[in-house]
Amino acid sequence: MSTAWEHIFAATIILASAGPIKHRLVEAYRNHLADLDHEELPKEIRDEFSHLSSCMCSVPPLRGETAVQATVRKMSDREAGGIAVRIVGMLDTLSRQQTMQRPKLRAVGEG
């Protein structure tokens, strides 16, 4: 299992948990996506992830907050939900890619 998949999966778990979407988005990004190496990502999602990362740090922070917190604070709940959907979509892409790369198992009795 790839490290990128593990990070995006862990972020998705946070996004699916209880609590306000903005709080979940900040936690998911800060804890699992902020330090993810873009080079670890497959080409299919690298641009999407780079755009998402830029988007998540686009607002200058106030004293005592990070750029991610400032950016999410300025988002509507709908915008934050849209970012969450994009993260889940990246997990879907990674999962599908890994499924296609697995060797097919033969059923008992197949030759």
Cα separation of 94 and 29, whole Å?
A: 17
Which percentage of the chain shows pLDDT scores above 70? Answer: 88
DSSP string, 9-26: HHHHHHHTSSS-HHHHHH
Tell me which amino acid residue 59 is.
V
Nearest 5 degrees, angle CA 83-CA 87-CA 92?
Answer: 140
Q: What is the pLDDT of residues 32-67, one digit of tens each?
A: 999 999 888 989 899 999 999 999 999 999 999 999
Q: 102 pLDDT band (50/70/90 cuts)?
A: low
Nearest 5 degrees, angle CA 50-CA 51-CA 55?
Answer: 115
pLDDT at 1 over 50: no
Q: 97 pLDDT band (50/70/90 cuts)?
A: confident
